[in-house]
Amino acid sequence: MSTSEIVKNSDIESAIQVADSSSSSQLSEKELQRVTSLDEWKPNPDKSKWENLVDSFRRAPVEEVDPNLTVAERIAIRTARSPLKRRLKNRHLQMIAIGGAIGSGLFVSSGSSLSTAGPAGVLIGYFISATFILCVVCGLGELAVEFPVSGSFTTYANRFVDESFGFAANWNYVYGCSISLPLEIVSAAITVNYWNTPKKYADAFVALFFVLIMSINLFGVKGYGEAEYAFSAIKVLCILGFIILGIVLVCGGGPDGKYVGGTMWRSPYGAFVGDTDGKYVGGTMWRSPYGAFVGDTGAQRFKTIMSVFVSAAFAYSGVEMTGMAAAETKNPRKAIPKAAKQVFWRILLFYLVSLTLVGLLVSHTDERLIGNSYVDAAASPFVIAMVSHGIKGLPSVFNVVILISTLSVGNASIFGASRIMVSMCESGHIPKWTKLDYIDNKGRPMVALGLLAIIGCIAFIAASSKEDVVFTWLLAITGLSAMFTWFGISLSHIRFRHALKSQGRSTDELWFVAPTGLWGSYYSCILIAIIIGLDFWTSLWPYKSSPNAESFFQSYLSAPIFIVIYLSHKIYRRNWKVFIPSTEVDIDTGRRESDIERLKADIAQEKAELATKPFYYRAYKFLC
């Protein structure tokens, strides 16, 4: 393989030749760092600032891949050697992991779930979803540490499951993220309506937020990391503040004099001492006439709880972003395992605790929860809780945080969609002539960003009278997108583990082994499949309404789209196998460490050192 016309530096050529001499065509950790550091573009001091700026947008040097290799081998090598820059630090990844799942799904759309299923139904739906999300993210962490490649989890579906499934998973994620961008921009623009801004300024706000998000991504992966670090810090502080405020309100410390939580503990007024002249609110939300569930019969309550799972999927979407960032993380071995294991704790704290307090403070029959809660910040149960209990000023502050959250999700959507587009072009799932695999000298996928900017222009529907109709159908396309993404991640983990076993290898050679194990991935796959099936039932026969084709497709459109893409690729490729045989799965290309025996020795040494530490330290390392 000749690289002299592409890479001029002889040191880089020698490093690449070392990699090519390996039978499995993978780069070791040291070799990969060496190529990256030598190939790092820097401004030329002999050129003007303008010339250096122009040069920074030129295509980064790339390696040729032997055309005699199989399609799967070429895809694995291209994604492993993508010229994306590793500039995300541990602090970036940790904050992305903490704040990635905190967005408008929690702040706003949880109100729709509360009105649909009641306070107890919301907690059941979100808790069950949290259990399989933990399994998904731990499985993803195991794969991302071993294979920090461009495209991350959608690339794993190509390698470990089947090319047709990977093709469908790629398109599922890319159109989900692409559509999410204009949705979030419009959501941000409509959030401003909380302060009664005139409708005629809607497009101005859309333009402002559009330029802000695109500008952040023009600073490359470091710009994304710093922006998400700031966004996530604000969201985390806001949630912690609300939890403290919620406890005070439930305990009767609100300015309106209402005593809230006592009725939950002891008749007639609970476990707290003190007189009050106000109406008892929080504890009664779980009892008649409100009730903990929506529905008179067990079947009706079950149906309403099932409807919460889709809302939970929308709320939790983004937790997989730590895996997407693996290829651009300086030290994925240290950062990704910690981020993956912290998923459960942040969901427990930020979601379940805050939603418990919301359920004590806001009745599920409150009319302010009704409406298009995806874009109407006034329908946020958090804002309603504060307004209902006499809190002044803070609702506006919280609305600013909701605005920041929508911008954060839009920023993450661009990051994810652009990386998947690069991977799809490298994999042959998008034609090469589109140039979507173009990555410039600063590590920016410029053509993909340009295409996303065009798609983002859909956001200018904010001033249209048909805004709600367009919004509803865009949401329908992305409704179950996250479910299919998570199913693909867990299935890829299952196939990877089976490939290890069938090829006579074990988890001893893995730097990070998912704490939830193989059975955790089976659990998440089965539960996701059940939820998708039950969602078909609730979409076709919704609670308190007759079967309706329009409402069905608004709830379930993304499922038939995924199936059509999958089957179409099968027919086009004439690929009739469901899975790549375990003995044929490539489990080496793209790994950071090519010397397996040395890796095993390093892992054994680390385990031995950990065994000498106190129990509390070992427990902390296992859990966090």
**pTM listed for this prediction:** 0.80
Distances (CA, A) of 374 to 109, 207, 468, 535, 555: 5, 20, 11, 19, 14
Q: What is the pLDDT of residue 285?
A: 63
Q: Is residue 183 within 8 Å of 474, Cβ to Cβ?
A: yes
| Interacting residues of 274 by C-beta distance below 8 A, sequence separation 6+ | 252, 259
Query: Between 381-388 and 220-250, two packed helices, what is the crossing angle to 10 degrees?
Result: 40
Residue 372, token pair as written in the block: 């298009």
Mean pLDDT taken over the chain: 75
- pLDDT tens digit string along 25-36? 333 444 444 334
| Interacting residues of 58 by C-beta distance below 8 A, sequence separation 6+ | 440, 441
- pLDDT tens digit string along 500-532? 999 988 888 888 888 888 999 999 999 999 888
Of 164, 178, 86, residue with least CA distance to 410: 178
| Interacting residues of 264 by C-beta distance below 8 A, sequence separation 6+ | 270, 282, 283, 286, 360
Measured in degrees and rounded to the nearest 5, phi and psi for residue 533 equal: -65, -45
Mean per-residue pLDDT, 295-299: 72
Above 50 in pLDDT, residue 224?
A: yes
Of 331, 381, 334, 345, residue with least CA distance to 360: 381
Q: What is the pLDDT of residue 266?
A: 43
Above 90 in pLDDT, residue 487?
A: yes
Domain range 10-47+58-593, CATH class: mainly alpha
Distances (CA, A) of 185 to 177, 362, 404, 444, 477: 13, 28, 11, 22, 17
- pLDDT tens digit string along 394-449? 888 888 888 888 888 888 888 888 888 887 887 778 888 888 888 887 778 888 89
Q: Is residue 422 within 8 Å of 154, Cβ to Cβ?
A: no
- pLDDT tens digit string along 96-143? 666 666 777 788 778 878 888 888 888 888 888 888 888 998 898 888
Q: What is the pLDDT of residue 129?
A: 86
For residue 51, the surrounding DSSP H or E stretch is helix 49-56
What's the one-letter identity of residue 553?
F
Confidence of residue 4 (pLDDT cuts 50, 70, 90): very low
**CA angle, corner 502, sides to 500 and 148, nearest 5?**
20
Confidence of residue 157 (pLDDT cuts 50, 70, 90): confident
